[in-house]
Amino acid sequence: SQQGEEDPQALSIQEGENATMNCSYKTSINNLQWYRQNSGRGLVHLILIRSNEREKHSGRLRVTLDTSKKSSSLLITASRAADTASYFCATYGNNRLAFGKGNQVVVIP
Amino acid sequence: EAGVTQFPSHSVIEKGQTVTLRCDPISGHDNLYWYRRVMGKEIKFLLHFVKESKQDESGMPNNRFLAERTGGTYSTLKVQPAELEDSGVYFCASSQLLAGGEQFFGPGTRLTVL
């Protein structure tokens, strides 16, 4: 099955610092997506990177994809307290998403 | 535009009882998905509807779970009878038919089976 595995599991940083999370998966994919979940809320789609793309930017987010290593990274630059959340990578294939366990990111004001 | 809504937000039931969860997708979204996150585990796919048809229910854990999407609008997920291991957060998501994978999630229903 396609499953993302994020690393590290928990990250605590100061406001203004950058946060980097990694994700690995096991099989071929159509695309890889990152989602954020704030406490008690649903998952919010952040960014999608297709299998033929290597890097993508969206605002303060930068995602990379290395299909040869079956890995992806999400970088949040100039973090804010509002970025405190759980972040999940998910691989898309066979019309479904396969999620990793998630990273808990805490941004200290 | 309203997002995906789910009802109830929380449900606490006893083992052996029945619970029905409801999901209202974004209007016009043909794809509807159910996912579940059990405590400490990753979010797992349960099933996928395209309009009123079940496209893939390979993630459904067993026959105690029944999902429907009558008329291709809202969907229900019934658990009967509920067991302790069914506790978790049930998410619903929807997407346009050719959205390429981006899914819009509801806030989830937290189910606790005692």
Residue A107: phi and psi, rounded to 5, are -105, 120
| Mutation site, B5, B102, B104, B109, interface A, largest A CB count within 10 A | B102
Task: Determine the Cα–Cα distance for residues B62 and B72; give it in Å rounded to an integer.
Answer: 23
Residues of A in contact with B103 (CB under 8 A): 45, 97
**Residue B1: pLDDT band by 50, 70, 90 thresholds?**
low
Task: Determine the Cα–Cα distance for residues B95 and A13; give it in Å rounded to an integer.
Answer: 34
Residue B70 has a pLDDT of: 86
- Closest alpha carbon to B81 in B20, B24, B30: B20
What amino acid is encoded at B52 in this protein?
E
- Closest alpha carbon to A29 in B50, B32, B101: B101
Residue B2 has a pLDDT of: 78
Q: pLDDT 10s per residue in chain A (109 long)? A: 335 555 557 889 999 999 999 999 988 888 999 999 988 788 999 999 999 999 999 999 999 999 999 999 999 999 999 999 999 999 988 878 999 888 899 999 9
The whole-angstrom distance between A88's CA and the closest CA on chain B is 9
Instruction: Say how many CA atoms lie within 13 Å of B4 toward its Cβ.
Output: 30
Residue B100 has a pLDDT of: 66
